[in-house]
Amino acid sequence: MARPRDSFEITPDIVLRAYSIGLFPMAESADDPTLFWVDPIERGVFPLGGLIVSKRLARTVRSDRLEIRIDCDFDAVVAACGSSAPDRRNTWINDRIRRLYGALFHMGHVHTVETYLDGVLAGGLYGVAIGAAFFGESMFHRARDASKVALVHLVARLRVGGFRLLDTQFVTPHLASLGAVAVKRAAYHRMLDAAIRSEADFEAWPKHARITGAEALAAVAAEDLKRG
């Protein structure tokens, strides 16, 4: 459900407050300067213990062919997420979104997981962290499995850090194939409230530590990690 609310200045603090009550901002297109608030009837979430990792993807993650970096190049990640691609002609990431999330990045509420192939950015994702909730915003890839590998490392990091909720906004066939599910709005708001009131640590694994694919896969598969 969209709620146009562009009659006042939207600040980073307003964006954080919106997330905490179940709303997130979008634009109709990259060229549209206005924003509107969205509160879907059904919300996409990744159960943090339910990520589906195929054998082929696990081999790619374990090979460490793709180097993982955290919070190293927000501008490049959001620019890539906002670019058109063969499977994504249009994007909702306009200049206001880039500025708002750039400010939130510098405030420590937005994080990126980046994958590099031979030193070149090949894929990644970004999202917003509040309490023990992580709100995935967008992802991209320029090499096979580059965004999926980033997602595996994100889920591992969230599990190790005690997060309780990984929001995906909507469920697409691609996300569903990786384990995302749709939950009704009322159920999502209960999950959100519990997560927002809890504490988590995105840097339980230090940002500059080298986390191997084997370590990430072990964290994703672990049954006994503390979940907050």
What does the block give as tokens for 70? Answer: 């955290």
The 10s digit of each residue's pLDDT in 185-196 is 999 999 999 999
Residue 89 confidence (pLDDT):
52
What digits encode the pLDDT tens for the residues 68-106? 999 999 999 999 998 866 555 557 788 899 999 999 999
pTM of the predicted model over 0.85: yes
The rounded distance, in Å, linking the Cα atoms of 203 and 209 is 10
Residue 85 has what pLDDT?
A: 61
Identify the pLDDT of residue 7. 47
Q: Contact 38/24 with Cβ under 8 angstroms?
A: yes
**What integer pLDDT is reported at residue 227 of this predicted model?**
44
Contacts of 210 (CB under 8 A, 6+ apart): none
User: What CATH number is given for 42-90+109-221 in this structure?
Assistant: 3.40.630.70
Beta strands 165-169 and 133-141 are parallel
Beta-carbon count within 10 A of 210 CB: 11
Strand partners, 45: 167, 181
> What pLDDT shows up at residue 112?
98
pLDDT of residue 2: 45
39-75 burial string, b = 16+ CB within 10 Å, else e?
A: bbeebbbbebeebebeeebbebbeeebbebbbbbebe
**Residues lower than pLDDT 70 in the chain:** 1-8, 84-90, 224-228
Place of tokens 């999202």: 127
DSSP state letter for 8:
S
In the sheet that 133-141 helps form, which strands lie side by side, from edge to edge?
Answer: 67-70, 110-117, 120-130, 133-141, 165-169, 42-45, 181-184
What is the reported pLDDT for 146? 97
